[in-house]
Structure 1
Amino acid sequence: KSYWGTHTGEKSYWGTHTGEKSYKCEYCDARFRHSSVLKVHVRTHTGEKPYKCEHCDVKTIDKSSLIKHVRIHTGEKPYKCDHCSAEFRIVQSLKKHVRIHTGEKPYKCEHCDAKFNQVS
């Protein structure tokens, strides 16, 4: 008998290490390593949005989306650029901004050698 026995966490634990996606969506062909990610994904099919903003009528499919949304109301910008005074509500915006300072251009044109710091 394994350490986990029949515990439901066993699939998720081993999936993390093996890359196996054991959890399949019943609505489409999507597969996931963790049941919690599948649960949120299924909401894109069912339309369920259990997280409601206390400031307006917006509802979201997961807690992290609600947290990002609420920052619109609170003005919170927890992600700060190390190169200048810019502040951002979401980490993806900070990462995109930092490319201005670093010169990183991760996006390459499929027709020539041109590179860009963002997708247009």
Structure 2
Amino acid sequence: HTGTMSYTCPDCGKGFSRRPSFIQHQQIHTGEKPFKCSECGKGFARSSNLSQHCCIHMGEKPYKCLECGKEFIQSSALSRHHRIHTGEKLYSCTHCGKAFNKSTSWINHQHVHTGEKPYTCPQCGKGFRGSSNLAQHLWIHTGERPYKCPECGKGFTTSSTL
């Protein structure tokens, strides 16, 4: 395990040491989502993401913050959330010094300095700095609102607006 990056994504330049990780990453750019939710039909590139998504329909949020009571589907989401209370920010930009509590936020921030928007909407061509931004944007075209209010049934595009 030398850490040598034998595989480089031709779309965004990200390097991978293992072929399976590289192939799985390619689905971000191809839009391939072979794992479908039987409840709502939403597709996922990874089976683990489908499993986590199914918790939304079942209302399961087994991880609870002891400080504020907020509940989460994933333990990693609870760990990230906990940094809000501690103020801990593990990732720092070498260009401007801005600090982040999530690695994905730090990675997406790097595109601010480069101007790069590697994730492109296949429908309208709009570019995005992060894959999650593209995924959320696609709901504009599909009309999908996957986060449902348990009280009134109204749908939302983000869990934070629920």
Report the Cα distance in structure 1 between the residues aligned to 2:10 and 2:89, rounded to whole angstroms: 38
Unaligned stretches of 5+ residues in structure 1: 1-16
Counting aligned pairs with the same residue, the percent is 46
Match of 1:25?
A: 9
Match of 2:127?
A: none
Structure 1 residues 62-101: aligned runs within 5 Å: 62-83=46-67, 85-101=69-85
**CA deviations over 1:78-106 (Å, ceiling 9, x no partner):** 32335564321133431232124434244
Unaligned stretches of 5+ residues in structure 2: 106-162
- In the superposition, the TM-score normalised over structure 2's length comes to 0.49
- In the superposition, the TM-score normalised over structure 1's length comes to 0.62
More off after superposition, 98-107 vs 31-40:
98-107
Over aligned residues, Cα RMSD in angstroms? 3.1
**CA deviations over 1:54-112 (Å, ceiling 9, x no partner):** 1102001111221221111111213233556432113343123212443424467947x
Match of 1:40?
A: 24
Count of residue pairs the alignment pairs up: 101
Larger Rg: 1
Match of 2:38?
A: 54
Structure with bigger RCO (C-alpha 8 Å, 6+ apart): 1
